[in-house]
A and B are shown apart, each in its own frame.
Chain A
């Protein structure tokens, strides 16, 4: 294993613990609008995978349909990708990860893709706790179909055309906690540090990670009156805590004051360190998580941070008690029972 700690004397290219460079994690050139929040998220995914030393060939990238769902093309070009149908990425991801549970799955969705057409599949994905990093690139509108409201638009939010949203927003984070996701957080595409830490922790988690990332649509929803604009989010963001993440292979300890941090040991031995900003916030308490989310909504604030984490509940794959090798490539003698089994069954039907 290559070490990242020694300072290179010659300007040899920087590599991660696998000896891979950051460029090895890039994808195709983006075709999204310049300044689109989705692009920033792709960059953070690249950084997180690189820093965590994940081999790109071990990743499955999946998405539904939308501007957001296009983004898997723009990161990790060496990973198999699947741009599926609108709102149905969870089922494709479920099938793929059952076929090969040794892969790291990352799914990118939009707020339309998740909270409207895909709400049913979203709910059941959370409930199953499939090991998948599920990211909502949340801009409050349907970007790809040119700016109609989505179901995460806040009440009173205004479209460029002047149309005002009258319906309450679906709180995808509160829903995810309620439905059984075991890692739920919200971040902002413009908050490099927080988003990167969250993504790194997400990679270490074994279960469904649901990250709602506010990601302004500069073309259709970044104006005065939009509650998903860069300006509004910067002004109304309230973080419940700073997110620090120490991978299990990293021996540098982060100097958090133990009295003010919440330390969660992850499945693989990593540590998620959450600095408490909100008095007494306990990220392992589901009720507290939903309460904090609801209260922030009342106050008109956008709460960010890791709201809920359960590092113990078995994942969907664990609960199915699957053979350790990928089902996809089990040899014939493992999947076709011998002749005597057929004989036995035929005998029973004589």
Chain B
């Protein structure tokens, strides 16, 4: 991670470090375009402080993003939070850290050594981090003393200390006090006493910095007007909102990072907004015994006519395999959110990846393939959640929403979500009246030529309404069969149904000028880094690129057209094995395949633009 030149200084004596900042040569002022990294210990309660920092910058009108780089641990292990302010609106992770707040004694040295030259470091004075770097502006702060002065209760000091660094940072980079106070008061809206205590701590840090530290780094914030009317929300809350407005009625889950907060947030929303006046719920939530049961309940509910969903991550997807094959073959609707994390196996549960593409696309034995949607923003987490429920019922099949930890668990700026304009679409369901008219129906028959059959819901009051649902071989009437022709007829229709889906799923987003020979294909949370990388490629290398952002599988026609229109196509993704590239290869004509190249990152950190740019530049030989 280190990009800066590392200059190891002589260890200074404990008293040698002056209270005032040491000062490497001052460079040009950098305004609204830098990153802050806070290094703390997991469980030390720094979340509120980091959130206050983020929201203060946001309320100054400066585009900002925050990322929690946390361990799979409840308390004790190191954790980092990065904030990026960007006047250009870049919200991907920035590889280089400009301002470090080192609060974790265990990682302090390493954190310091990883900084680029010219950056700044705020740290507890006892850590004496200056000894490691002469080329970094150092701001030692007596955190314990400052905290003790504002927080008489010793037990609370560990928490309150975090707010002291908020004050120090605020003073040094120019967060105005008004914005900081508003953010603190909002953070502790329900606890006025805690709000006062924390605000005093912020002020103490601020005053200390004003009196005792000399600003010597180039990083400044200045108010802008770029966040007005914008919201800050995480992808999992957004997905939960989408599910509620989609009219979900049966929700099942088995807790797993990073998907748990989809359902936890959803429960909160449903309890507040989906309970009738008489206290009766228009939803059911079940914490299942495992993911097999969770998805079994989803499919049972979908079969009986409910809008049903579950949320999980890779290990849960693996467990769901058998049932998802049943859902495909018996044509049962249901929505499965997969908030991807690093695999294989338990992998790195708190790190991000786009690693479930192949396993989800073909989940389960036999010939199966599944529809999945690829949100790339919190707004799309919301929209695609709604879309997924309509698609699942229209197509009568399980539909996946592939988000990831970066999108799902981090806070993102967005324009406010729009209320759905389309009415809920429940697909082809025959009622008693339809059956009276038709006299009966064949469950798996292609009546309309789109390969989507009609179904009835259990409880339909008609003697010909019933059919038998099975995962064993069946003919178009749903009757058990082992006859080759009847079996093949259903399987071929299912393949045609998948083709129908191509025209129903969200189409890709295209950015092209019609001149460029190089096309980029990316999806999901990579989008932020890819947009920034395209600017870098243009500015630094004069390389103009076109860009297609995939939004769903199966691929629609535009994908083939885009590939056909370019000489070289770079597929950018966050996994080792170029999984999306493999899916594209299976779909594209052979003559296009030699155009495909791959840029991959799979370290588990949110993708940054520099990694994309470097990977591309290397292959382009520019």
Q: How far is the CA of A349 from the CA of B249 in the complex (A)?
A: 25
B603 within 8 A of A: no
A94 within 8 A of B: yes
Q: How far is the CA of A100 from the CA of B273 in the complex (A)?
A: 21
A339 within 8 A of B: yes
B461 within 8 A of A: yes
Q: A268: shortest Cβ distance to chain B, in Å?
A: 19
Q: Which of B230, B297, B424, B460 makes the CB contact (< 8 A) with A91?
A: B297
A33 within 8 A of B: no
* Stretch of A152-160, A203-211, A315-323 at the chain-chain interface: A315-323
Contact B273 A85 (CB under 8 A): no
Q: Which of A92, A334, A349 makes the CB contact (< 8 A) with B303?
A: A92
Q: Which residues of B contact A342 (CB under 8 A)?
A: 241, 245, 417, 419
Q: Which of A77, A98, A103 makes the CB contact (< 8 A) with B250?
A: A98
Q: A71: shortest Cβ distance to chain B, in Å?
A: 12
Q: How far is the CA of A327 from the CA of B300 in the complex (A)?
A: 13
Q: How far is the CA of A345 from the CA of B269 in the complex (A)?
A: 9
Q: How far is the CA of A85 from the CA of B211 in the complex (A)?
A: 71
Q: How many A-B contacts at CB < 8 Å in the complex?
A: 213
Most A CB within 10 A of own CB, among B281, B292, B301, B420: B301
Contact A328 B304 (CB under 8 A): yes
Q: Which of A83, A85, A321, A322 makes the CB contact (< 8 A) with B322?
A: A85
Assuming the A-B contacts A80-B466, A83-B469, are A334 and B293 also in contact, with contact meaning beta carbons closer than 8 angstroms in the complex? Answer: no
Assuming the A-B contacts A321-B281, A330-B249, are A92 and B472 also in contact, with contact meaning beta carbons closer than 8 angstroms in the complex? Answer: no
Contact mask for chain A residues 249-287; partner B; CB cutoff 8 A; 1 contact, 0 none: 000000000000000000000000000000000000000
Most A CB within 10 A of own CB, among B232, B293, B323, B463: B293
Contact B231 A335 (CB under 8 A): no
Q: Which residues of A contact B280 (CB under 8 A)?
A: 321-324
Assuming the A-B contacts A332-B423, A350-B231, are A99 and B301 also in contact, with contact meaning beta carbons closer than 8 angstroms in the complex? Answer: yes
Smallest Cβ-Cβ distance to B468: which chain A residue: A81
Contact A341 B273 (CB under 8 A): yes
Contact B292 A346 (CB under 8 A): no
Q: How far is the CA of A234 from the CA of B204 in the complex (A)?
A: 86
Within 8 A of B (CB), among A89-119: 90-100, 102-103
Q: Which of B273, B297, B420, B424 makes the CB contact (< 8 A) with A95?
A: B297
Q: A125: shortest Cβ distance to chain B, in Å?
A: 9
Q: How far is the CA of A324 from the CA of B280 in the complex (A)?
A: 8
B307 within 8 A of A: yes
Contact B416 A57 (CB under 8 A): no
Q: Which residues of A contact B469 (CB under 8 A)?
A: 80-83
B545 within 8 A of A: no
Q: How far is the CA of A78 from the CA of B463 in the complex (A)?
A: 6
Q: What size tier do the contact residues of chain B reach?
A: 35 or more
Within 8 A of A (CB), among B267-298: 269, 273-274, 276, 279-284, 286, 288-290, 292-298
Assuming the A-B contacts A88-B323, A95-B252, are A327 and B466 also in contact, with contact meaning beta carbons closer than 8 angstroms in the complex? Answer: no
Contact mask for chain B residues 215-234; partner A; CB cutoff 8 A; 1 contact, 0 none: 00000000000000111110
A168 within 8 A of B: no
Q: Which residues of B contact A91 (CB under 8 A)?
A: 288, 292-297, 300
Smallest Cβ-Cβ distance to A337: which chain B residue: B273
Q: B431: shortest Cβ distance to chain A, in Å?
A: 10
Q: Which of B241, B250, B468 makes the CB contact (< 8 A) with A327?
A: B250
Within 8 A of B (CB), among A69-83: 72-73, 77-83
Smallest Cβ-Cβ distance to B252: which chain A residue: A95
A84 within 8 A of B: yes
Q: Which of B232, B269, B282 makes the CB contact (< 8 A) with A335?
A: B282
Contact A98 B466 (CB under 8 A): no
B306 within 8 A of A: yes
A17 within 8 A of B: no
B43 within 8 A of A: no
Q: What 5 pairs across the A-B complex have the smallest Cβ distances?
A: A95-B300, A91-B296, A328-B305, A335-B247, A99-B306
12 A-B pairs in the complex with CB atoms less than 8 angstroms apart: A62-B300, A82-B303, A83-B472, A84-B296, A91-B296, A95-B308, A96-B301, A123-B289, A323-B276, A327-B250, A339-B419, A350-B231
